[in-house]
Amino acid sequence: MKINRVNANAETLLDPTAGVWTGAAAQQFAMVPTPLNGNPAIKAISPFIERSTDHGKINQLSAAGVHNGTDVALRLSWVCEKNSEIVDLDQFVDGVAVMFPLAVTASAVTMGSKGAPVNAWYWKANTPEAGFDVVAEGYGTSERRPGADTELTCQAMHDGTSWHVVFRRPMDRGNHYTQFNAGNPHKVAFGVWDGGNRERSGRKSFSGEFVLVEVEA
C-alpha cells in the first residue's frame, strides 16, 4: 500500500468525496473472520466470544492513503448495508479500524503484546465524526482515548451500497502515537465490523498480519 503525497489542505483530505481520492491508488484487502473459535488466547479473555462462529461477514476492504506533509488521511471503503443507529437494544453499528505497530515486534494478529503495543484508529457509525484512538498490548487490553486527544478526525458517507470513511490526523503526534515520516516504510492492518451481523468486539473481520505501507516523500 502507498500513501501518496498530494497538494491539498487538511479539509480536503478529510472529505471522502474529494478529488484527491480519485487519484490515490486504492489497494484491495481480503478480509477474513478473526480466529475466535478454538483460540486459547481468546478463550482466556472471554470463553463466550470464543464460541462465536458466524462473524466476519465483510470479506473485502479498499484502502487508500494521502498526506500533504502535515496531515495524513486514510480512506477505507467496503460494501455494507448501513447500520448507523442503535434503535433497539439488540442492534449494533458498523465500524472500521486501522492498526499500526508501536513496536517493531508488535503483531497485528494478537493486537500487540505486553511491551509491544499497537495503536489503532477506530470509527463507529453512530458517532461518525468522532474517532477513537486505541492502544492495546494484547487481546482484551485495548484502551480507548477520545480521538480529539490526538486530533484524530473522521468523516464518513454511505452511498447506498458502501461505506467510505476517512481518518485524518497530524503526521506527528509524539512517541506515544503512530508517527508518519515521509519517505519511510510503515506497517498497517485493518479490521471491520458489520453491525447488521451483530459484529462488535472480537466479532469482526480483519486483514491479517501487518503489511508494509510506503509514505511518499
Partner 1 sequence: MTYAPKGAPKEKLKESSRQIANIIDLNKCMGCQSCTQACKNLWTDRPGTEHMRWMNVTTFPGKGYPRDYEKMGGGFDKDGTPTPGALTNTSDVGDNFQFNHADVYYAGKGQSVHLKPSSALTGDEPQWGYNWDEDEGGGDWPNGYYFYLPRKCYHCTDAPCIDACTHNALFKRDQDGIVVLDQDRCNGDRLCIEACPYKAIYYNPVTTKSEKCVMCFPRVEQGIAPACDRQCPGRTRLAGYMDDEDSDMYKLIVKHKVALPLHPEFGTEPNVFYIPPFDSTKAFAEDGSITDDGRIEISVLEDLFGPDVGDVVRKLQSERKKRQNNEPSEIMDLLIGRNFWDRFSELTGDPAELDSFSTTAMSDGSNLG
Indicate the burial class of 86 (C-beta count within 10 angstroms; 0-12, 13-18, 19 or more). Answer: middle
CB of 86 to partner 1, least distance (A): 5
Using rule CB under 8 A, residue 38 touches partner 1? no
Bridge partner residues of 113 (DSSP): 116
Residues 131-150 that bind partner 1 (CB under 8 A): 138-144
Q: Which is nearer to partner 1, 10 or 41 (CB)?
A: 41
Using rule CB under 8 A, residue 49 touches partner 1? yes
Residues 87-116 that bind partner 1 (CB under 8 A): 87-90
- Retrieve residue 185's grid coordinates: 516504510
Binding mask 68-87 for partner 1 (x = CB under 8 A): ------------------xx
- Among 96, 46, 126, 88, CA closest to 204: 96
Using rule CB under 8 A, residue 185 touches partner 1? no
Residue with cell 486483514: 207
Q: Which is nearer to partner 1, 2 or 200 (CB)?
A: 200
CB of 170 to partner 1, least distance (A): 26
Report the C-alpha gap between 96 and 17 in whole angstroms.
18
Q: Please report which residue ranges of 127-180 form alpha helices under DSSP H.
A: none
- Among 91, 97, 90, 48, CA closest to 76: 97
Report the C-alpha gap between 56 and 79 in whole angstroms.
13
Q: Which is nearer to partner 1, 158 or 204 (CB)?
A: 204
Residues that bind partner 1 (CB under 8 A): 44-52, 86-90, 126, 138-144, 198, 200-202
